[in-house]
Amino acid sequence: MKRGAYLACCILFPLFNFPQQNQIIINGEAQGSTYHIVYFDEHDRNFKPEIEQILKDFDLSLSTYIPNSIISRINSNQEDVIVDKYFIACFNKAKEVWKNTNGAFDPTVYPLSNAWGFGPEKKQKIEKAKIDSILQFVGFQLIKLKGNKVIKKDPRVALDFNAFAQGYSVDVVSEFLNSKGIKGFIVEIGGEVYAKGINLNGEHWKIGIEKPIDNKESENPLKAIVKLENLAVATSGNNRRYFIEDGIKYVHHIDPKSGYPTKNNLLSASLFAKECISADANATGVLVLGLEKAKVYLKKHPELQAYLIYSNEKGNYQVYETPGIKDIVSEVEE
């Protein structure tokens, strides 16, 4: 679903000495990206077929790149579309974060994302009049969920849960592993991560957070290493999906109020939460808010912790981190 996405967080497998017995590693492709899962099971069960089916069903609900998905059918105003549990969970989380961020996070920016060339459709010629016309039907207040059906105040309203659906898919797969009695695992899908328990050596799971260097093709050097235990982390940044036109960089995070890509010195936002859907949605919201507003927002929401990378006046990396992660994040020496 996040087409062309690369890992913002990478699992650091070399940091462990895994016992060979009971270790299951599953890798694959999903949602326009990749996934990596490690878990320990005394019965040596391989859940790859079940997990891949879950991810396929997930896409059939939420992928805007699949014409007959539930969200695509809603966007095209097909009649009598019945939403499923995946769509309902995303809609409710979107409404929550939209309210909390005062509209900075808003999945109805989908028509704007398409106009700017960050969706399935071809980039349009951007003019103020066009942006102003699209803004008339952007706003989460224009759509609601009644039972298992979506009701729009304007048929042109369209949704895109891409900003946090991968985080939610991490939760869905994690719930599946929990249902199978798995006590220790790490799930990474498209760079979003949840880790439960500890590995069989009694150590925390570890992931790396990259430096936010503009790079569409490969991984970047690490900025920090994070220890995770019963915790999710999602990273949103401006260094993977962007284009440069007339010497100006345009990033894929759209400000729902202006209709234009965000412009601030916040380069990367890694959010930590008990659920990856919350971490992922709020990472996007924080990036749109910008550094100073993000600091205020995070103080109001202690259930969220954050590691923010921004640039100072000289263009050098600076970090802001909330108190709750100081013991689990360590900087990588230059």
Checking if the pLDDT of 327 tops 50, the result is: yes
Spatial strand order in the sheet of 205-210: 9-11, 205-210, 222-228, 329-331
pLDDT at residue 271, rounded to an integer: 97
pTM score, whole prediction: 0.90
pLDDT at residue 125, rounded to an integer: 81
What is the chain's mean pLDDT, rounded?
88
- Looking at residues 266-274, what average pLDDT do you find? 94
pLDDT at residue 243, rounded to an integer: 65
**pLDDT band at residue 203 using 50, 70 and 90 as cut-offs:** confident
The answer to whether residues 188 and 11 touch, using CB atoms and an 8 Å cutoff, is yes
Cβ burial 77-109 (10 Å sphere, 16+ → b, else e): eeeebebeebbebbbebbbebbebbebbbbbbb
pLDDT at residue 20, rounded to an integer: 45
For 148-157, 208-217, 286-295, which range has the lowest pLDDT when averaged over its residues?
208-217
pLDDT at residue 4, rounded to an integer: 31
For 8-22, 157-171, 289-303, 319-333, which range has the lowest pLDDT when averaged over its residues?
8-22
pLDDT above 90 covers what percent of the chain? 63
Largest CA distance in the chain: 62
- Looking at residues 141-170, what average pLDDT do you find? 95
In this structure, whether the domain defined by 56-162 belongs to CATH 1.10.3980.10 is answered with yes
pLDDT at residue 274, rounded to an integer: 97
Sequence spans of domains, the chain: 56-162
